[in-house]
Amino acid sequence: MKKSRRSKYKRTKVPASTVALYIGAAVLILGICAVVFFISFNVMNNNSTSDSSSAGGSQMSSQSSTGGFILPPDVQSSSSVVQSSQSSSSSETQSSSSVEQSSSSQTQSSTPQSSSSSQGNTVPTSFDKEFFKDDLFIGDSIFTGLYLYNHLDQKNVAAKVGYTPYGVINSAFDARGMTAADYAEQLSPKRIFILIGSNGLSSSGIGALKNSYGEMIKVLKERVPQAKICCISLTPVARETDYPNIHNSDVREMNDFIKQQCAEQGCDFYNFYSSITDSEGYFLKEYAEVDGLHFKSNTYKMLLSALQKKYS
């Protein structure tokens, strides 16, 4: 047999310890790389979260200041300037308002019993309720406000919603069944103040109203001869009113008639119309209720103050 040919080169055997060392080094390097990668990833993720949170907070702030709408950065900047300006303006306005209120308070405290009209005139509103304790006020719904606002006691007022001069001598004004003329005779007042006629203008017209008004004065003078009678002018309606059937031209005509009747029958006449009208003859808003006919509380004070001055 032939002998087998041996390999020209011999294989070098690597010791097992060297192989183990190489493997361990590789595992260590891979572990270090993994740790470095993990740390780097976390740092980047945290920075990204922080930036996102900051941006989200900025957007929420923008939303809260713009009613829920997110504004672009340039608009947000402009909005901030406007808001700052508005805030400054608001502060200045509040400061100015405080000064004006303080000044107004000082003025009111120095003249607590006065009211200023739109024309700048100071109108007295002070009166003594006791001054009218022996008097009687006869009228319609306008005069019911005298006791409803507690300016006078109800016993000093004979008034009723819808009352007319004809009703004063023919219709009851309260649950007792007494007419205003009956009550005047029973009360025997020192003075009788009359403000009535608007309902007559609205329903029966100016001709019938004149007849009944003159008759009313005559009856009251006969039944309460000791009382001083003062007829107050009818009051106007405002520019915007719920009483289209009452015209200020008729009110003025009726007032001329009342003034004439007072002169003929020996009564006093007080022109309250001119105190509460504007340059065109309309009821001034600061004195009229929203319906354009009835009085505000301060208007009664004006009237009572003027009547007290007239008879003091």
pLDDT at 46: 53
Judge residue 141's burial from the number of C-beta atoms within 10 Å of its C-beta, 0-12 exposed, 13-18 middle, 19 or more buried: middle
How far the first Cα of the chain sits from its last, in Å, is 168
Q: Does residue 288 have a pLDDT over 70? A: yes
Confidence of residue 240 (pLDDT cuts 50, 70, 90): confident
Could you give the CA distance from residue 241 to residue 291 in angstroms, rounded to a whole number?
6
Could you give the CA distance from residue 32 to residue 225 in angstroms, rounded to a whole number?
124
Q: What is the pLDDT of residues 136-165, one digit of tens each?
A: 999 999 999 999 999 999 999 999 999 999
pLDDT at 52: 42
- Which of 49-58, 66-75, 180-189, 228-237 comes out lowest in average pLDDT? 66-75
Confidence of residue 29 (pLDDT cuts 50, 70, 90): confident
Phi-psi category of residue 281: left, alpha or beta, with phi > 0 → left and psi -120 to 50 → alpha: left
Contact 273, 233 (CB under 8 A): yes
Average pLDDT over residues 24-36: 77
- Which of 9-13, 18-22, 57-61, 121-125 comes out lowest in average pLDDT? 57-61
Average pLDDT over residues 229-236: 98
Average pLDDT over residues 265-288: 96
What's the token pair of residue 2? 């032939």
Summary mean pLDDT of the chain: 78
CATH T-level fold of 122-311? Rossmann fold (3.40.50)
Confidence of residue 130 (pLDDT cuts 50, 70, 90): very high
Half-sphere exposure of 102 toward its Cβ, with a 13 Å CA cutoff? Answer: 6
Which of these, 221, 230, 311, lies nearest to 267 by C-alpha position? Answer: 230
Side chain identity at 253, as an amino acid letter? Answer: E
Could you give the CA distance from residue 307 to residue 131 in angstroms, rounded to a whole number?
10
- Which of 84-93, 121-130, 224-233, 251-260 comes out lowest in average pLDDT? 84-93
- Which of 24-38, 199-213, 220-234, 270-284 comes out lowest in average pLDDT? 24-38
Between 47 and 13, whose confidence is greater? 13
